[in-house]
Structure 1
Amino acid sequence: MTVSLIISTYNWPEALELVLLSVAKQSVLPDQIVIADDGSDQRTAALIAGFRRDLPIEHVWHEDNGFQKTLILNKALKVCKTDYIIEIDGDIILHKHFIKDHIASAERGFFVQGSRAMIGEQLSEKTLRDKKMSFSCLTNGMTTRFNAIRFPLFSGIFKTNPYSSHNVKGCNLAFWLDDYVRINGYFNGFTGWGWEDYEFAERLINSGIKKKRLKWAAIGYHIFHPLSSRSNFKPNEMIYRETVDNKMWHRTPGFHEVVGI
């Protein structure tokens, strides 16, 4: 099985640097790393260029036209050449066994929802300043300690409703590339933040792919930041509700409608 790590980012190279440093320290490296860049300025490109000497990174960028995460993710997936996709946000620092744990949990017929340990505001500021990334459930300043526990032998005791798209987050998500392609990827009709992950997961489930919950393994540590604008929250929720009510598994425009990559 070959694996791509997809990292979405927008104009926060200080956080992306920590993410890429954590990728470089993985016990098992991904076969491909794709940065899905939603219109960042030249600072991000310069940072990525520095990491390309040691990591197999591809940088997929489009012009800044507001929050277009689903579109840039579909563009990034166009260049993927692997069987399996692990998706994170550009503010998720990885435990050194993150990729290894995700590979161990991969199973045909499932997508995997991982969890995130939240780094508090003060610890986040210190981490961004000092670039020291040694975290555990006992670290002072970790606000969700339960999610910072790594105990993969017992990760299977946590069960979830395999047919529920509730609480799916793209900050720590894994799926098979052919499942993604079959449902036409993310829906490009979303404007602004909110509901795009739920809607994508709902279509995977409607297509016959079940959800698996991963706890105490594949740990991602989330760097604190202010909340994104919720101005399009309600219109985006209506798109999600339409997918749920009509049991949709395919929407356009999406992956197949992306051109020019």
Structure 2
Amino acid sequence: MTGSPIGVFDSGLGGLTVAREILDQLPQESVLYLGDTARTPYGPRPIAQVRRYALECLDRLVDHGVKALVIACNSASAAVLADARERYDVPVVEVIRPAVRRSMAVTRSGRIGVISTQATHQSRAYLDSFVAAPPGVQVWSQPCPRFVELVEEGVTSGPEVIETARAYLAPLQEQQIDTLILGCTHYPLLTSALQYVLGEEVTLVSSAAATAADLFRVLTDGGLLAGPDHRPEHQWLTTGDPQGFTFLARRFLGPEVEQVHRAFVGRAEERV
């Protein structure tokens, strides 16, 4: 299976930041990406619905013969990780625990903030992942639903972004955090604005970069790395409009997104 692709799933486009990190850290690997853009965003949806949608998409990737799955969506990771690891025979990597481990490695004061969608915030997935943290580590969670909308509108800088960031981050700044987890895969595209508002003394932890590093570890330990002579081939699937996906995906990822195909998932009576 070493030459098989890595399946990367997201509720929309944000997971392309994870795909970008995978291409950079594992350039010999093929990626099969599926974005459920017809049903995005997952953040405001009930957890049970997020779970069903995510498993439908993951099933589709497994049917394509992937050698590993990456749940590149914080809302889906919170809802479906345990089910996915029981359901599939391939390794499953998610975005929450790698970011938590990285934040504990870089914090100086033990005061850590997490920003995420409403669904991830309500699931307490990040807070629960800190249960084994060393004494003295304190964590605060802040939902930032407008950030996803801004990114998918292509607005990643300017007065509205700065004003929104200041409003969302103020409660975390009051707690004097020194580390901030970007708990949504859309948020790395707002890194400059977030760093501007928080100041250079706060370290930003990208779940995208941490997840790619964890995938490297999993593939290496499992003997699943593609050989140095393997020529990667990437495929891009969306449940929504391929043309609209292609335009925005090239903002996230660059020219690697050449041709996008429509994928059909879900129950027959409500297939998208």
TM-score (norm 1): 0.29
- Structure with the larger helix share: 2
Q: Which fold has the larger relative contact order, with Cα–Cα distance below 8 Å and residues 6 or more apart in sequence?
A: 2
